[in-house]
Structure 1
Amino acid sequence: MPGGRLTHQDRRRIATWLAEGLGYAEIARRLGRPTSTISREVARNSTFGDYLPDRAQQVAVQRARRARPAQAAEPPEGLPAEAARGFVDQFAALLAAIGLPRMAARVFVCLLTSDGGSLTAAELVRLLQVSPASVSKAIGYLEAMDLVGRGPDPGGRRERYVIDDDTWLRAWRTDTGAHAELARAAQRGVALFGAGSPAGTRLGQMGQFFDWLSGEMSGSRLTDTVRGDALTVLAALVHAARPLTVDELVRALGLPADRVADALAAIEEHPVIADPLTLLRTEPGTYTVTTRSDRLSPAQRAALV
C-alpha cells in the first residue's frame, strides 16, 4: 500500500529496477513512495554497493518483531539520580544549541541514557518531572525525525519509546534528505526569481552547496546510465536553444520515456551535473537550460551581449 511499509515484493522490485539503471526518483514514483524512502532503504541494506532485497526483508521482519524487555527507569547502580539528571540537562542543552527543541532534546537524552534504550511515557514524565502533554509533543517531534520508535511493553498495555541500534544511520539519512530538498527548493527559487537576479544568484549558490552536501553525506552515486542520459538531455536542450517538452525529448533522442524522466529528475536533484548550466522548468513538462548565475558576473554578461 502506498505510504505503508515496504513489502518483500517491493524490495525485489527495487533490486530489479536498480539493476536496470533506474534512479531513486523513478523507483519511488513507480512504488508511490517518497524518494527519501527509497534512498534510505538502499543505503541501509547495501553491501559493497549492491542492494540485497532478501536480507533487507529479513532485517525488517526482525526489527518489527523485536520486543525489548522492560527496564527500570532508574539511573545505573552507584550513579546518584541528581548527577544523572544533571547530565541529561547538560547534554540536552548542547543538542538544543544545534537545533533540537529543548524538551525533545531532554526526552531523547533520557532515552539514550536508560539501561535498555526504552522508556514509557509515564516513566519519562516521572524522570523529567514534566507534564504528559510535553512528553507527547516531544515524542511526536522525535518520531517525525525518525530518531525514536515505538515498541510493546512486555507485561503491560503501554507502549515503550525506543532508540534502535540504527538510530544514528536513520538520523543521518533524514538530514541528507532535508539537504537534498533544500537544494531542490533553491533551484525552484532560481527559476522563479530569475537566474540573473540577485536573489536567483544567492539561491543558485545555496542550491549548489546543499546538493554537494547531500551527495557527500549520502555517499550515493548516480549510475553511469542515468548520468549519461542526463548529459544527453542537456546537450539536446543546448542544441535546440528553446524549451522542449518531455515528449519532444523522447522522440528526438530515441530514449524510453522513463529514462528521460530519470535523467531530468537526476539533474533537478543534483544540479552539479549540469554545471555550468542550470536546468529550468518553464512550465509543467517543459524544460530549457541557461548558464548558472554564479558563473558569470553581471558585467561579464553585459559584455557578451
Structure 2
Amino acid sequence: MPGGRLTHQDRERIAEGLADGLTYTEIAARIDRPLSTVTREVGRNGGPDSYRADRAEQATRARARRQRPVHRPAPDADPGHLREGGTGPAGAGDSGPVAAGDPGAVRELEDGFTAVMVGTGLPRMSARVLATLYLTDSGSLSAAELVERLEVSPASVSKAIGQLEQQELIRRDRDPRRRRERYVIDADAWFRGWLASARQNGTLADFAQAGARTLGPGSPAGARLHDIGDFFRHVGQAMVQAAEQWQRDRAGASGARDVQLP
C-alpha cells in the first residue's frame, strides 16, 4: 500500500465512499490505504455523517501549520539545567513533553487515539483531553495547559474533564507549589474506569428488573425488561471478575520481576 499523506483526491474518494454507504474497509480497499488511515481520517474530521473532503484538507493543512518542532538538548547538555520538556530552565514548566518522536507521527498517533475513543462513545473533546494526557510523558496537565495545547476554550476543557472524572478515567491532584489542580493519568485509570462501567451496568440491571416487577413478568414489556436486567447483571459481574483477575495477574507479574532483580 502506498505511504505518505492522504491527498485531496484520496479525501474526495473517501467522501464519495461514505456517500455511497461503503464501509471503512471497502473505502480503504478502494483508495489502497490501510483501514486505520481511513478510520483516523474520518474520525478526526467530523465522522461519517459530517465528513467533507475540502474541509478535511483545510483542517489537515491547519494542523500541519500548528505543529511545533520538538526541541531536544544537545548530547552534552546537562539535563539538570533543563525542565522535563527539555526547553528551558528548571521550574519553567512541569507538564512534561508530549511523547518523544517525529512530531508528525505523534500528531497522527494523537488523532488516531482520539478517533478510537470517539468510536467507543466518548465525546470528541473528552477523547482529545484523554489522548493529550496519555501522550504527555508526565501524564499530568493543568486546565490552562490543556487549553493551550488543544487550542480550545476553558469551558470546553472543563466540561470534558467533568465527563472523564465521572467515568473515573482521570483523577485530579492539587499542585501545592502553584495552588492549582492538575489532571492525572495513572496506571490504574482504566481499572477504575472499567469498574465504574461495571457499576453502571449494575445500576441499569437494578432499574430494568424493578421495571419488570412494576409491569409484571407476564407482560411482553415486563419480560423484555427482565431479560435486559439479567443481561446487564451478568455483564457487570463478569466485568468485575475480569478486572480482579487482571489485578491478580499484574501483582503476580510484578512480584516475579521483583524476584529476578539482583
Q: Provide TM-score, normalisation by structure 2.
A: 0.54
Alignment check: 8 A CA contact 2:95 2:140 kept? no
Match of 2:138 in 1: 116
Shift of 1:123: 1.2
The amino acid of 2:133's aligned partner reads L
Moved over 4 A (4+): none
**C-alpha distance 137-182 of structure 1, shift in aligned 2 (>3 A):** same
Give the whole-Å Cα distance in 2 for the aligned partners of 1:185 and 1:113. 38
Shift of 1:177: 0.4
Shift of 1:167: 1.0
The amino acid of 1:190's aligned partner reads A
Task: Map residues 155-304 of structure 1 onto 2, 5 A cutoff.
Answer: 155-219=177-241
Give the whole-Å Cα distance in 2 for the aligned partners of 1:117 and 1:136. 18
Give the whole-Å Cα distance in 2 for the aligned partners of 1:193 and 1:117. 49
Shift of 1:164: 2.2
Q: Does 2:164 match 1:145? A: no
Shift of 1:155: 3.3
Give the whole-Å Cα distance in 2 for the aligned partners of 1:86 and 1:154. 34
Q: Does 2:98 match 1:75? A: yes
Shift of 1:154: 5.3
Give the whole-Å Cα distance in 2 for the aligned partners of 1:77 and 1:187. 50
* Residues 139-193 of structure 1 deviation map (CA, whole Å, 9 limit, x = unaligned): 0111111111111335322211011221121111101101111111110111122
The amino acid of 2:143's aligned partner reads A
Give the whole-Å Cα distance in 2 for the aligned partners of 1:128 and 1:111. 11
* Residues 203-233 of structure 1 deviation map (CA, whole Å, 9 limit, x = unaligned): 111111111111111129xxxxxxxxxxxxx
Q: Does 2:142 match 1:84? A: no
**C-alpha distance 121-73 of structure 1, shift in aligned 2 (>3 A):** farther
The unaligned stretches of length 5 or more in structure 2 are 1-90, 243-262
Give the whole-Å Cα distance in 2 for the aligned partners of 1:202 and 1:77. 52
Give the whole-Å Cα distance in 1 for the aligned partners of 2:143 and 2:218. 53
The amino acid of 2:204's aligned partner reads L
Q: Provide TM-score, normalisation by structure 1.
A: 0.46
Alignment check: 8 A CA contact 1:122 1:132 kept? yes
Q: Does 2:176 match 1:133? A: no
Shift of 1:194: 1.5
Alignment check: 8 A CA contact 1:147 1:170 kept? yes
- State the secondary structure of the residue aligned to 1:219: helix
Give the whole-Å Cα distance in 2 for the aligned partners of 1:77 and 1:156. 26
What is the aligned-residue RMSD (CA, Å)? 2.0
Alignment check: 8 A CA contact 2:211 2:225 kept? yes
Identity %, equivalent residues: 48
Which structure is higher in RCO with an 8 Å CA cutoff and minimum separation 6?
A: 1
Shift of 1:85: 3.0
Alignment check: 8 A CA contact 1:186 1:206 kept? yes
Query: Which one has a larger percent strand, Structure 1 or Structure 2?
Result: 1
Give the whole-Å Cα distance in 2 for the aligned partners of 1:217 and 1:78. 35
Aligned length in residues: 151
The unaligned stretches of length 5 or more in structure 1 are 1-68, 221-305
